[in-house]
Structure 1
């Protein structure tokens, strides 16, 4: 029986217009009516995802930055925070810049960038992001100066001709950080040990819910760990094959009310189990 339902945002809960469909909203309202705990697990920063979390009235803490932060949207209480430490961040930034990536940092719920440029503007538009932006000149030097880690590094590659990360560079980065992707050839980088799956496990333990009673939905590589952790892991139809083959169920795409379809599948599954 599902007691905890966790959904990714971009490419899953949100359609291509960055909206939550009426069908998805109705299904989420049904979760609440049935007493199921539900929330969002996203790579986004807290302020960026907050309007959507409030819109669906989540009733559990929000998972942000791919699991680096677990925070309550109502009380603002932080239950978990595991940033990339300053030295590891500086090491990673140096490598990323050498191979041409735009580096975004997230500190104190601000987006930290060298300057506003085409790729930063693309990011803000693509994510429909109303985040506070702090231009600091050189993000590595800024990290050294303030002595604070970053919740996540989002490395933006060529937005017109995305390319996969070279395997040697990947191996070098993984000496200090955890590297994933949320699509488009761009990189999601966190502290080692941070993942949506580990955050979901932490959240389930907070509510004393066993993994067999957890359902998780996602559409990309950074969702893989929570899909694998959940007792019922669900992949969106728009997910890559690597995600689909790890899932227990493949729902419709984010532009065809895939979350509503997944929730209805959970309810049908529960009726079968109850018989």
Structure 2
């Protein structure tokens, strides 16, 4: 079997827990690229943030699957696939989240709107590590995002909320599921909720990309680390879960590699692509 497309999650997959990209991982990605395999990143990060990682890997303007599958593009101004949460729905979600102790962000492709909070400063600082240079992807902190949205309605690609405790997250999740339609909510680690349009997923965006490149589903390797990756991993020709992924993700995978801190991507590349000959695939 010759694989022609490799989709890699970023956080907890490509990057170590300290958010570093190791030399071993860079070399592994270069090795796969030299085999003629098309490489994309499939991430919850913004397009602008993912593009910085792609440049670190020396990928030349590839199509990137970002915002948890809501945005597929090779240039931020030219999406080829997008699934936005409508302005009215964004307001409904924000109106609910403001009743809970949480820090939330509304992700547009060019900027972020976030609620101001004096609590959990260290949590907010850690979340901001996953953003990029504020000069290129600014974060606007607002006292009352719901009031702003009344005056300036906004459709966004995804919403991310991190709660102070499990009870708050549970109650917010229940209220959102009961009150808001048209969205997909995925709980994450660290008391997070990830909110997207109901038809947005990394799996669907990856299918769109593969079709665009003339690549069959069985020719795809997809590597992921959390619940947002489960559909992508389960539907790929070879689905790979990181060693410290949740059990549900591992159960949906064909193969389990080492953890991100044990260079799991590099280990997977050695095991899966070592004997594969170079193939012709779309330019990257």
Same fold (TM over 0.5): yes
- Matched residue, 1:77: 78
- Matched residue, 1:228: 234
2:127 to 123, 144, 153: 123
Unmatched tracts of structure 1, length 5 or more: none
When residues 47 and 258 of structure 1 are mapped into structure 2, their CA distance, relative to the original with a 3 A threshold, is same
- Matched residue, 2:16: 15
Say whether the 8 Å CA contact 2:45–2:131 is kept in structure 1: no
CA RMSD of aligned residues (A): 2.1
- Matched residue, 2:249: 243
Greater Cα shift, 62-71 or 259-268? 259-268
- Matched residue, 1:184: 190
Greater Cα shift, 223-232 or 135-144? 135-144
Say whether the 8 Å CA contact 1:124–1:130 is kept in structure 2: no
Deviations 1:201-237 (A, max 9, x none): 1111110111000010010001111101211000000
1:217 to 219, 223, 243: 223
When residues 174 and 224 of structure 1 are mapped into structure 2, their CA distance, relative to the original with a 3 A threshold, is farther
When residues 20 and 173 of structure 1 are mapped into structure 2, their CA distance, relative to the original with a 3 A threshold, is farther
Shift >4 Å, 4+ stretches: 161-164, 268-271
- Matched residue, 2:280: none
- Structure 1 residue 128 displacement after superposition: 6.0
- SS in structure 1 of the partner of residue 104 of structure 2: strand
- Matched residue, 2:115: 114
When residues 173 and 50 of structure 1 are mapped into structure 2, their CA distance, relative to the original with a 3 A threshold, is farther
Say whether the 8 Å CA contact 1:116–1:135 is kept in structure 2: no
- Structure 1 residue 172 displacement after superposition: 1.9
1:147 to 153, 160, 163: 153
The structure with higher relative contact order (CA 8 Å, sep 6+) is: 2
Say whether the 8 Å CA contact 1:197–1:229 is kept in structure 2: yes
- Confirm whether residue 41 of structure 1 aligns to residue 42 of structure 2: yes
- Structure 1 residue 102 displacement after superposition: 1.8
Q: Would you say how many aligned residue pairs link Structure 1 and Structure 2?
A: 267
- Matched residue, 1:252: 258
- Structure 1 residue 144 displacement after superposition: 2.9
Deviations 1:79-108 (A, max 9, x none): 122211011111111222223222211124
Greater Cα shift, 111-120 or 225-234? 111-120
TM-score with structure 2 length normalisation? 0.87
- Structure 1 residue 174 displacement after superposition: 6.1
